[in-house]
Amino acid sequence: MFIGAIVTSSLFSSALVLSLNANAQTPQSVKPNELRRYAKAMLTMEPQRQQAFDEIKKIIGSGEVPKIICNDNSSFSNLPSKAKDIAVNYCQRYQKVVEDNGFTIDRFNTITTQVQSNEDLKRQIYNILLRLQKNPESR
C-alpha cells in the first residue's frame, strides 16, 4: 500500500518536483542499475516530500498548494516566506539525494519522464520499490 502511494504521488501528482524540462534529444534507454538507484532515491525522498508538502499546506491553509518546480524560481514566488524556505530546503535535500545516487538532475528528470510514459518502466520501478521496502538493508 505504501509503495503504491509512493509511486503514485512521486511520479504523477507531486506538488514538489525537480524540473521536468523537455529534452529534444531521443531519450537514452534506462539501464537496470539506474532503475534501482532511481527507486532508492524515490524511497528516500518520499517521506520528506510528504512532510514538506504537509508543512507548506499548514502555512497556506485552505488554499491549494501550487506546483513547485525546484529549479524554477517563479514557482516559489507565490509562497509565503516560511513555505518558500521549506520548499527550498526540500529541493536542496532532493538534489543531494539524486546526486548521491549517481545521477545528474537532467538524467534523473529524463528517467522520471520515461517512467511516467512507459507502463513497463512503471511496473519495474514498482517491483524494485517493493523489494527495497521488504529488504531495507539492501538499500
Over range 43-64, report the average pLDDT: 90
- The three-class DSSP label of residue 16 is strand
% residues pLDDT > 90 (the chain): 50
Report the distance separating Cα 134 and Cα 114, nearest Å: 25
Q: Is residue 49 within 8 Å of residue 72, measured between CB atoms?
A: no
pLDDT in tens, 88-135: 999 999 999 999 999 999 899 899 989 989 999 999 999 999 998 887
User: Model-level pTM greater than 0.85?
Assistant: no
Over range 15-36, report the average pLDDT: 66
CA 28 to chain centre: 20
Confidence of residue 16 (pLDDT cuts 50, 70, 90): low
Biggest CA-to-CA distance, the chain: 42
